[in-house]
């Protein structure tokens, strides 16, 4: 018999609680990839991210800006123009993101098989 898991296994002060980039975040990684080759406007981001609502995209952009992953530059023009660009800090995420993509490319068929088997069990 194994020892029970301790209630303080995850320290509330652990730096991982403040991790700015959540692996499971659905849109942040895609936004960063869209900005990989240079600044983009909100409308430009909406094209490849067409499944995300404007509200969620705006929230994602604000969160990435808050955490220093992107910058938001508003130009004093008529009509107003705003561009988003990835920062040097944001670029440091690409190796980890590339590793996750490589893992998915190798293991996705196994994950899909497991999902299908799970569904067949009626769970």
- Taking only the tens place, the pLDDT of each residue in 103-122 is 988 999 999 999 999 999 98
C-alpha torsion sign, points 52, 38, 25, 64: negative
Beta strand 70-75 with 81-86: parallel, antiparallel or unpaired? antiparallel
| Contact call for residues 68 and 89 (beta carbons, < 8 A) | yes
pLDDT of residue 22: 55
pLDDT of residue 10: 66
pLDDT of residue 17: 58
Query: Which parts of the chain register pLDDT below 70?
Result: 5, 9-24, 123
Question: Tokens for 44?
Answer: 């430009």
pLDDT of residue 3: 79
Question: Tokens for 112?
Answer: 């899909």
Residues 56, 62, 63: CA angle, nearest 5 degrees? 90
pLDDT of residue 122: 82
Cross-strand partners of 85: 71
pLDDT of residue 101: 85
C-alpha torsion sign, points 107, 113, 119, 121: negative
| Contact call for residues 70 and 88 (beta carbons, < 8 A) | no
């Amino acid at each position: 018999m194994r020892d029970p898991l301790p209630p303080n296994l995850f320290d509330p002060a652990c730096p991982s609680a403040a991790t700015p980039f959540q692996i499971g975040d659905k849109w942040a990684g895609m936004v960063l990839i869209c900005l990989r080759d240079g600044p983009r406007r909100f409308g430009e981001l909406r094209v490849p991210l067409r499944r995300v609502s404007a509200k969620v995209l705006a929230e994602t952009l604000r969160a990435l800006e808050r955490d220093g992953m992107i910058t938001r530059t508003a130009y004093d023009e008529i009509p107003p123009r705003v561009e988003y660009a990835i920062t040097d800090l944001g670029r440091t995420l690409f190796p980890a993101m590339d590793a996750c993509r490589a893992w998915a490319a190798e293991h996705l068929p196994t994950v899909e098989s497991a999902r299908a088997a799970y569904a067949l069990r009626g769970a």
